[in-house]
């Protein structure tokens, strides 16, 4: 309170020369330098937003707080699991990026947000104040939705739904699996990060097994009755992996068919559904998900476990001056994808820059595209362009959709890799 009062008096002293400024304008004027935006999380959403704030208005000071010094993208981590790429290829660092764009990076974990005082506190004991805060913490796994599953158990039975060490563990387990072995995936209920992700992973595991361990089988135990790009995936599986025949490498068991995994025994790599018990050679358990812990801690989530926001600005409906983007936000009809996080990051950056000047946010526009590989040279995609209707994200009628019948799957695979190189350059370059 006394600080605010002092700042006000100091600013009021300077105000003689700058008439006509609003009260909040005076407070900022007292800081002497540009406004300060803090970004929590340097992943797909956070890195994009930080970079574009500086790109749109270099007078804004930006600090990113991210515990990791190396960020492995989830996108294309299936390519690493399938043996198409090495872990290095999906791993990015912050040093050059920070220098190039004049962004401060603090490698620490945010443990608390005080939306009234406009400060964040880190595990390392730092308190950082902000004019506006952007939170992009991604997802946390709801381990407690599957009996016997936990953070600890996930080291034996990885989810690999955060890229990094678990990506390497799952790859290694596949390499160590005997020919004739069984790979079991527990696929999560909606909503979750990257709807086509589990099925791209299965495709690339099948591609690896077909070439190296052709007697092996894959079983998907699904908590859903349908999935993203299902027609395109199953057509590809029929073409390459015998799907639908007695000799199919891949079997998909839907929720209605007792697909939901209720419990696991990590030691014996066993998955339990209501009526069945399946012992796997490699078990990949992807549980239900929720907004990253800090979003819950800071009171940014609603009963759904995700963060309600104003789509025009991505400002939280729970706390003023705090914006939430990426997987943690309720963004529907935008999916929880890297492209969507990147797209939201830019709309949020433009809004933050405008709002810091006391202006209205500009008319937004969003894009999402998710490429997936069925084999290394058979790519498929789903795309959509979005605008705003009555203040919410809305699909532009007539745009987007799936790879059309007779589409060029070979070229789509080429452009999938091109997409990765460009979006990573757009975020971390």
Partner 1 sequence: MTRTSLLSALFVAGLAVGHSATAADASGQMIAAQCNGCHGFEGKSVGDAPSLHGRSAALMAKAMMDFKSEARQATIMNRIAKGYSDAEIQNVAEYYANLK
Ligand X SMILES: Cc1cc2nc3c(=O)[nH]c(=O)nc-3n(C[C@H](O)[C@H](O)[C@H](O)COP(=O)(O)OP(=O)(O)OC[C@H]3O[C@@H](n4cnc5c(N)ncnc54)[C@H](O)[C@@H]3O)c2cc1C
Three-class DSSP category at 112: strand
Q: Which stretch binds ligand X (CB under 6 A): 19-27, 71-79, 276-284, 377-385?
A: 71-79
* Of the candidate residues 367, 376, 396, 417, the single one contacting ligand HEC (CB under 6 A): 367
* 3-class DSSP state of 307: strand
Q: Is 233 in the site for ligand X (CB under 6 A)?
A: no
Sign of CA dihedral 408, 413, 414, 417: positive
In a 13 Å sphere around the CA of 404, the CA atoms on its Cβ side amount to 3
CA distance 158 to 169: 7
| Interaction between residue 313 and partner 1 (CB under 8 A) | no
Per-residue binding string, partner 1, 351-370, x by CB under 8 A, is -----------xxxxxx-x-
Please tell me whether residue 418 binds partner 1 under the rule CB under 8 A: yes
Question: Is position 169 an interface residue for ligand HEC (rule: CB under 6 A)?
Answer: no
Q: Determine the 3-state secondary structure of 36 from DSSP.
A: strand
Q: Which stretch binds ligand X (CB under 6 A): 171-179, 180-188, 337-345, 352-360?
A: 337-345
Contact flag: residue 420 with partner 1 (CB under 8 A): yes
Binding mask 373-392 for partner 1 (x = CB under 8 A): --------x-xxxxxxx---
Distances, alpha carbon 228 to alpha carbons 195, 232, 362, 372, 381, in Å:
6, 9, 32, 11, 10
Helix (H) or strand (E) holding 209: helix 197-212
- Helix (H/G/I), strand (E/B), else coil: 10: helix
Q: Which of 187, 31, 53 is nearest to 118 (CA)?
A: 31
- Which residues, 6+ apart, have CB-to-CB distance to 325 below 8 Å? 45, 46, 49, 134, 135, 136, 309, 314, 341, 344, 345, 348
- 14: contact with partner 1 by CB under 8 A: no
CA dist 199 and 46 (Å) reads: 26
CB of 82 to ligand HEC, least distance (A): 22
Least gap, CB of 320 to partner 1 (angstroms):
23
In the complex with ligand HEC, the residue whose CB is nearer, 318 or 367, is 367
CA–CA gap between residue 104 and residue 11 (Å, rounded): 27
- CB atoms under 10 Å from CB of 403, counted, come to 18
101 binds, among ligand HEC, ligand X, partner 1, none (CB under 5 to 8 A by kind): none
Cα-trace Rg, the chain: 23
Binding window for ligand X (CB under 6 A); candidates: 29-37, 238-246, 269-277, 322-330: 322-330
Out of 11, 133, 184, 194, point to the residue binding ligand X (CB under 6 A): 194
Q: Which is nearer to ligand HEC, 167 or 369 (CB)?
A: 369
Closest by CA to 349, choosing from 24, 37, 13, 63, is 37
Member of 167, 313, 369, 375 binding ligand HEC (CB under 6 A) = 369
In the complex, the residues that contact partner 1 under the rule CB under 8 A are: 52, 56, 339, 342-343, 346-347, 350, 362-367, 369, 381, 383-389, 394, 396, 398-401, 403, 407-408, 411-412, 414-415, 417-423, 425-426, 429
In the complex, the residues that contact ligand HEC under the rule CB under 6 A are: 367, 369, 383, 415, 419
């Amino acid at each position: 309170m006394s600080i605010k009062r002092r700042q006000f008096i100091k600013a009021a002293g300077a105000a003689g020369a700058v008439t006509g400024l609003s009260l909040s304008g005076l407070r900022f004027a007292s800081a002497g330098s540009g406004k300060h935006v803090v970004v929590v999380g340097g992943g797909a959403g956070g890195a994009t937003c930080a970079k574009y704030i500086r790109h749109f208005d270099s007078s804004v000071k930006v600090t990113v707080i991210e515990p990791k010094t190396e960020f492995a993208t989830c996108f294309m981590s299936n390519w690493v699991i399938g043996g198409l790429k090495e872990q290095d290829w999906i791993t990015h660092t912050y040093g050059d990026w920070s220098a190039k764009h004049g962004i401060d990076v603090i490698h620490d974990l945010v443990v608390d947000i005080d939306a009234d005082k406009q400060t964040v506190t880190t595990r390392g004991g730092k308190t950082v104040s902000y004019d506006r805060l952007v939170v992009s913490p991604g997802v946390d796994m709801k381990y407690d939705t599957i009996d016997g599953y936990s953070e600890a158990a996930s080291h034996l039975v990885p989810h690999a739904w955060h890229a990094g060490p678990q990506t390497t563990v799952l790859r290694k387990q596949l390499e160590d699996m005997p020919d004739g072995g069984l790979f079991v995936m527990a696929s999560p209920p909606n909503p979750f990060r990257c709807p086509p992700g589990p099925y791209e992973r299965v495709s690339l595991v099948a591609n690896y097994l077909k070439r190296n361990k052709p007697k092996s089988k894959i079983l998907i135990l699904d908590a859903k009755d349908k999935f993203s790009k299902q027609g395109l995936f199953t057509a590809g599986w029929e073409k390459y992996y015998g799907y639908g025949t007695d000799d199919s490498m891949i079997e998909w068991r839907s929720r209605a068919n007792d697909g939901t995994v209720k419990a696991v025994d990590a030691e014996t790599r066993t998955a339990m559904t209501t009526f069945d018990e399946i012992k796997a050679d490699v078990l990949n358990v992807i549980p239900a998900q929720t907004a990253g812990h800090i979003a819950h801690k800071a009171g940014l989530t609603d009963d759904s476990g995700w963060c309600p926001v104003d789509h025009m600005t991505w400002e939280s409906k729970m706390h003023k001056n705090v914006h939430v983007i990426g997987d943690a936000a309720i963004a529907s009809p935008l999916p929880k994808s890297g492209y969507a996080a990147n797209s939201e990051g830019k709309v949020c950056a433009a809004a933050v820059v405008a709002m810091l000047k006391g202006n209205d946010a500009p008319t937004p526009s969003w894009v999402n595209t998710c490429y997936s590989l069925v084999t290394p040279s058979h790519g498929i995609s789903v795309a959509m362009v979005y605008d705003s209707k009555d203040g919410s994200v809305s699909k532009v009628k007539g745009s987007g959709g799936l790879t059309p019948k007779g589409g060029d799957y070979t070229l789509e695979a080429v452009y999938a890799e091109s997409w990765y190189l460009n979006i990573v350059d757009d975020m971390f370059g």
